[in-house]
């Protein structure tokens, strides 16, 4: 069991006395609905069975001692629950500290320190939400340790708040929501404007979800994520002058085509087009799944990638290579980039009989073109956060 080795590491570093808790929060993959979550649209993510393990113990003083088995070279990082503020960009402890700070901002002050050891089996910087996984995990641990009266949905909102206000990344709600609210075998059809959601079963007859990790590292804060967000805000402001909407997610494709000339800047118009069409694709994709039409779902995934490549321009050569090579393999039902883009991962639905061929052929073509290898994960859809021991 993975968690047992994390517990062992904790005891080695911090001793075995006192009440020690063992926890897990998943990573997530978004099946379709990309860059719609901050545009008031729909998303369709699911939690994975890979994620972040945490072993924690409350302290009697204000001290925080953090250790990550993914960044062992950094050793034990110490700080205090008082005067929490973000340190230099590379420091992963900004994520748990940000959540502690956010609890305080919401009137639930963390008065005592803790010892915490983390291990994630999500590839770092892959776009499978390792940061949101750490945020939800931290919130879940704080609730358990301090008895804070918050729901899993509150944990998602607190995680998003901490990422926006403490870490300075203008992310939408999708990642934290998918992780906090995950349900095995289901994706979450979430309206990000209202937080109305429903669980939709993912029934893939004789097919698997395969995640291809480009191994191109990216940092959200320094990517063009915030730039895309402001381009959409400009487009929305101009659209509002001609049609009564609260967000781009309110528009149908027909309404967008009718009023798009209100957006003067051609680049902003392309960004808005993606937001509108991707939202409608997501609605259609969930309907397709309900009708057991996995082929249509796959076609919509492919269209999503083309839009992210051409209109939103967030793919890049690594993700485009993974997807274009996937499309060549017999038995691939659909393939697209997932996550913020500029590196990270693709998600593909692949027939069981073709999974080995897919990994071999896409892997070889990618390494030949890009110069280093991609990693492949055949994943299952899992539950939200849990206390393991």
| 232 and 177 assigned to the same domain | no
Cα angle 224, 229, 234 (rounded to 5 degrees) comes to 125
Q: What are the backbone dihedrals phi and psi of residue 217, each rounded to the nearest 5 degrees, phi first?
A: -80, 145
| 344 and 238 assigned to the same domain | yes
pLDDT band at 170 (very low <50, low <70, confident <90, very high): confident
89 compared with 119, residue with greater pLDDT: 119
- For 80, 138, 283, 381, the CA distances from 344, given in Å and listed in that order, are 33, 23, 25, 19
Question: For position 289, what pLDDT does the model report?
Answer: 92
| 176 and 283 assigned to the same domain | no
| Average pLDDT of the residues of the chain | 94
pLDDT band at 125 (very low <50, low <70, confident <90, very high): low
| 217 and 182 assigned to the same domain | no
| 273 and 326 assigned to the same domain | yes
| 224 and 194 assigned to the same domain | no
Question: For position 220, what pLDDT does the model report?
Answer: 53
Q: What is the DSSP string of 174-191?
A: HHHHHHHT-BTTEEEEEE
Say if residue 128's pLDDT is above 90. no
Provide the CATH number for the domain around residue 69: 3.30.230.10
> What tokens were used for 27?
């990573």
| CA–CA separation, 110 and 321 (whole Å) | 46
Say if residue 17's pLDDT is above 90. yes
| 171 and 275 assigned to the same domain | no
Question: For position 86, what pLDDT does the model report?
Answer: 87
Instruction: Give the mean model confidence (pLDDT) for residues 152-178.
Output: 93
Q: Shortest CA distance to 223 belongs to which of 272, 176, 170?
A: 170
Question: For position 219, what pLDDT does the model report?
Answer: 57
| 188 and 256 assigned to the same domain | no
Question: For position 342, what pLDDT does the model report?
Answer: 86
> What tokens were used for 103?
């609890």
| 256 and 284 assigned to the same domain | yes
- Number of independent structural domains in the chain: 2
Query: Which domain, by its residues, includes 7?
Result: 2-201+383-387
Instruction: Give the mean model confidence (pLDDT) for residues 209-229.
Output: 80
Q: Shortest CA distance to 54 belongs to which of 73, 68, 75?
A: 68
| 168 and 243 assigned to the same domain | no
Query: Is 175 an active-site residue?
Result: yes
Helix H, strand E, coil C: the string for 122-161 is: CCCCCCCCHHHHHHHHHHHHHHHHHCCCCCHHHHHHHHHH
| Marked catalytic residue, from 37, 115, 175, 311 | 175
Question: For position 218, what pLDDT does the model report?
Answer: 63
Q: What are the backbone dihedrals phi and psi of residue 84, each rounded to the nearest 5 degrees, phi first?
A: -65, 130
% of the chain surpassing 90 pLDDT: 89
Say if residue 221's pLDDT is above 60. no
Instruction: Give the mean model confidence (pLDDT) for residues 77-81.
Output: 94
1 compared with 220, residue with greater pLDDT: 1
- For 283, 304, 353, the CA distances from 309, given in Å and listed in that order, are 20, 9, 29
pLDDT tens for 328-346 read 999 999 999 998 888 889 9
What sign does the CA torsion over 163, 168, 169, 172 have? positive
| 64 and 101 assigned to the same domain | yes
Say if residue 83's pLDDT is above 60. yes
Say if residue 155's pLDDT is above 60. yes
Say if residue 78's pLDDT is above 70. yes
Provide the CATH number for the domain around residue 368: 3.30.70.890
pLDDT tens for 256-311 read 999 999 999 999 999 999 999 999 999 999 999 999 999 999 999 999 999 999 99
Contact 192, 179 (CB under 8 A): no
Q: Shortest CA distance to 95 belongs to which of 167, 152, 179?
A: 167
Question: For position 311, what pLDDT does the model report?
Answer: 98
| CA–CA separation, 55 and 22 (whole Å) | 5
| 118 and 23 assigned to the same domain | yes
Q: What share of the chain is helix, strand, coil (3-state, %, to 5)?
A: 45, 20, 35
> What tokens were used for 164?
């926006």
pLDDT tens for 135-151 read 999 999 999 999 999 99
pLDDT band at 168 (very low <50, low <70, confident <90, very high): confident
- Per the DSSP assignment, residues forming a β-bridge with 26 are 51
Cβ neighbours for 121, distance < 8 A, ≥ 6 positions apart: 2, 50, 51, 53
């Amino acid at each position: 069991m993975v968690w047992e080795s994390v517990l062992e590491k904790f005891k080695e570093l911090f001793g075995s006395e006192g009440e020690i808790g063992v926890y897990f929060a998943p990573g997530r993959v978004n099946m379709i609905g990309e860059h719609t979550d901050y545009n008031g649209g729909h998303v369709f993510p699911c939690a994975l069975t890979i994620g972040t393990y945490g072993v924690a113990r409350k302290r009697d003083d204000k001290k925080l001692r953090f250790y990550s088995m993914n960044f062992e070279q950094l050793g034990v990082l110490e700080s205090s629950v008082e005067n929490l503020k973000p340190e230099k960009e590379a420091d992963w402890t900004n994520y748990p500290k940000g959540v502690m700070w956010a609890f305080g901002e919401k009137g639930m002050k963390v008065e005592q320190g803790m010892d915490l050891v983390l291990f994630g089996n999500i590839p770092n910087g892959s776009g499978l939400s390792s940061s949101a996984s750490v945020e939800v995990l931290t919130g879940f641990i704080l609730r358990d340790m301090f008895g804070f009266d918050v729901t899993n949905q509150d944990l998602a909102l607190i995680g998003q708040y901490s990422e926006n206000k403490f870490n300075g990344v203008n992310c939408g709600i999708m990642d934290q929501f998918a992780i906090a609210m995950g349900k095995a075998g289901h994706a979450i059809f979430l309206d990000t404007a209202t937080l109305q959601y429903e669980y939709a079963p993912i029934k893939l007859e004789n097919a698997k979800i395969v995640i291809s990790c480009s191994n191109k590292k990216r940092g959200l804060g320094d990517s063009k994520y915030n730039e895309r967000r402001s381009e959409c805000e400009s487009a929305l402001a101009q659209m509002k002058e001609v049609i009564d909407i609260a967000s781009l997610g309110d528009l149908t494709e027909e309404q967008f085509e009718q009023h798009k000339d209100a957006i003067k800047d051609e680049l902003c118009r392309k960004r808005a087009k993606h937001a509108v069409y991707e939202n409608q694709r997501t609605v259609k994709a969930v309907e397709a799944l309900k009708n057991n039409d996995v082929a249509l779902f796959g076609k919509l995934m492919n269209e999503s990638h083309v839009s992210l490549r051409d209109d939103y321009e967030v793919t890049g050569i690594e993700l485009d290579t993974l997807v274009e090579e996937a499309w060549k393999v017999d038995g691939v039902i659909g393939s697209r980039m997932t996550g913020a883009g500029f590196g990270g991962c693709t998600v593909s639905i692949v027939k069981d009989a073709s999974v080995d061929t897919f990994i071999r052929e896409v892997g070889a073509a990618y390494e030949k073109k890009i110069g280093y290898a991609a990693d492949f994960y055949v994943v299952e859809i899992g539950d939200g956060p849990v206390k393991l021991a």
